[in-house]
């Protein structure tokens, strides 16, 4: 009987330990990244900006706000099955620019099929998470090195458009654009906290314009 009790106790403790280390799906809350951008201007001078990327999530709804030291600010609203918008101020007016759905889809499709190559000898701590590192090789995009944690899983393809179907929380990664600019993202914090429904709606006073109308202004 004593051995049976010890065996059951050991199994129970192992069960608790397993669940404490189990993965948590990020359904609602806020993720904040520190951002560093290196860009080259027409005079081939390197320009550096820093700032934050805030990502708020509530179910299928996503808000992404990028704020930089240069004064640049852009807010994106996404929701699965609905139109996506960019909130912008143009000429003193406030607009909700409807994003090109086809372009968004094309960007996501670049990394639908991907393979991961793990780097087990390059481990560090970011925002109190012990990292794992991998190279994502996508079907139609440049390879991407990423530090991540398996403690949080991601189930929304709008959170990280460059690798929309990677299932774990990115801790640090770099994105290089076609114009030569490079973005570095590193996790500052993640909080699973209730979010206000109103944050994911177009604010009052914003005029909705189509992507085609916005393009016509560029000419």
Q: Other CB atoms closer than 10 Å to residue 7's CB: what's the count?
A: 10
Phi, psi of 181 (to 5 degrees): -75, 150
Give the C-alpha separation, 153 to 164, whole Å: 12
d(CA 100, CA 83): 9
| Nearest by Cα to 147 from 128, 131, 163 | 131
- pLDDT of the residue at 183: 92
The domain segmentation of the chain, as residue ranges, is: 28-217
Q: Which residues of 97-128 are buried (b: 16+ CB within 10 A; e: fewer)?
A: bbbbeeebeeebebbeebeeeeeeeeeeebbe
pTM of the predicted model as reported, rounded to 2 decimal places: 0.82
Q: Are 170 and 146 in contact (CB under 8 A)?
A: yes
**Do 182 and 174 contact (CB within 8 A), yes or no?**
yes
Decide if 176 contacts 59 (C-beta within 8 A).
no
Task: Return per-residue pLDDT of the chain as tens, 219 residues.
Answer: 444 444 444 443 443 343 445 679 999 999 999 999 998 766 656 788 999 999 999 999 999 999 999 888 999 999 887 889 999 888 889 999 998 777 777 777 777 777 788 887 777 899 999 899 998 888 777 788 999 999 999 988 889 988 888 899 999 999 988 777 899 999 999 999 999 999 999 999 999 999 888 778 765
* CATH no. of 28-217: 2.50.20.10
CA-angle at 33, arms to 72 and 140, nearest 5°: 85
């Amino acid at each position: 009987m004593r051995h049976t009790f010890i065996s059951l106790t050991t199994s129970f403790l192992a069960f608790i330990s397993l669940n404490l280390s189990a993965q948590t799906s990020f359904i609602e809350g806020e993720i904040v990244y520190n951002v560093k951008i290196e860009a080259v201007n027409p005079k081939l001078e390197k320009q550096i900006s820093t700032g934050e990327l805030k990502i708020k999530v509530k179910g299928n709804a996503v808000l992404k706000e990028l704020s930089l030291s240069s004064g640049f600010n852009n807010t994106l609203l996404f929701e699965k099955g609905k139109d996506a918008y960019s909130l912008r101020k143009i000429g003193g007016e406030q607009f909700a620019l409807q994003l090109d759905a086809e372009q968004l889809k094309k960007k996501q499709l670049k990394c639908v099929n991907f393979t991961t190559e793990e780097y087990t000898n390059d481990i560090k701590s970011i925002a109190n998470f012990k990292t794992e590192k991998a190279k994502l090789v996508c079907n139609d995009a440049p390879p991407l090195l990423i530090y991540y944690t398996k403690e949080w899983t991601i189930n929304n393809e709008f959170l990280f458009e460059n690798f929309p179907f990677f299932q774990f929380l990115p801790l640090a990664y770099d994105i290089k654009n076609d114009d030569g600019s490079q973005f570095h993202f590193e996790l500052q914090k993640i909080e699973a906290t209730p979010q206000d429904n109103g944050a994911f709606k177009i604010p009052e006073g914003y005029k909705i314009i189509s992507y085609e109308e916005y393009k016509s202004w560029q000419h």
